[in-house]
Chain A
Amino acid sequence: MILKNLLSEKRAAILERWFEMVLDSYPVDTSSFLKQQKNQFANPVGAAISQGINGIFEELLSGKDSDTISTFLDNIIRVRAVQDFTPSQAVAFIFHLKKVIREELEKEISENQLSDELFAIEARIDKMAMLSFDIYVKCREKIYDIKANELRNMTFRLLQRANLICELSEPEQALIDSKNLNVKRKEVTK
């Protein structure tokens, strides 16, 4: 795999450009902060992106499909899912990698006729993009869950004290779950 070797050689340049491109999606004042502040606790967003793209790149080179890739993608997407981005903007960073690779290795790819290898690498990036979309949706669903849970928790004790909630036996609970219902209302007979 000539291309993999080239990618490995140019790792530093590719990662730097990719990092810059991701940060360019933020306002100028913000991106300069995200780039300059190196302390991971003072700058968790910059750290998540930097560590995340490093990890993703390593996974790409390794050629293996592992769970680790989801973790790296999750660390970045979880942040971008609550920032000022549309869904497509939030996950667009993964496609930037294609652009960076093509631009950084343009000469080598044409000289060595590596289009097949490039296609294989890009197919892997596309797969990561699909995974990214799944992660993004999960993050947003989590937000909706948290909102719903907060409301439920706020009223739970009140309903409990007012005797409007009943405990379910396990078979009953299984029945409810199977019908995709979470709450069973007890009729007030008073």
Chain B
Amino acid sequence: MGGGKTIGDVVLDLQGISLSFGGVRALQDVTFDVREHEVRAIIGPNGAGKSSMLNVINGVYHPQQGTVSYLGAKRHDVNTHEAAVQGIARTFQNIALFKGMSVLDNIMTGRNLRMKSGLLAQAFRLPSAEREELEHREAVEQVIDFLEIQAHRKTPVGRLPYGLQKRVDLARALAMEPKLLLLDEPMAGMNVEEKQDMCRFILDVNDQFGTTIVLIEHDMGVVMDISDRVIVLDYGKKIGDGTPDEIRGNQAVIDAYLGVSH
């Protein structure tokens, strides 16, 4: 229905990013930006450098060359913690959750950065700590409600089916109330129905909270449907950047995906 979202200014700007591991050049001079409120997809064949790109954005890797500007300020070698404090959350290709902990507790870890009371205050359940926990629990419940996982609140994550674990992973990231959400193959290994659900959730998050989203995905149908702009990587180089329609007609992209005869 008539989406009323307005794409804002550039929130994340990457200029000439190059990253290599010894002789392996994972990213070569990649430049692109992400605008506020948009859904930005990164696609490319296996080994194209997509996950490396996300890792650069949230501070896991530090590129040898190039600059990353976030919210207008240049960043220098931020680590993952600082990135999280700045409002960058992410989900992982291979779900990174505490399998033995309940769904609720897992999502609660997403609130960790926002908790102020100290270890002692929490251990003795001081009134201030209790109050704080209630606040955070409420925020977590909002996310649980949003992603419709009420039935699994108390279930250990390890016992849930894969598709649901992915949803919990997203819930944990959302609990951070991020400005920028990085999703690494949110739909990998899902069946059609689960994919549809996930698409709906991603669009809802984008719509309802105005969260800017950068996602990596292999399912072209999904990418073309939900993204505002798409960047295509191949062997660490940017070979395409534009709206889904532009990408669809881009010869370099078609070649990268379908192969070319030499």
**Is B truly associated with A?**
no
| B residues neighboring A (CB under 8 Å) | none
| A residues neighboring B (CB under 8 Å) | none
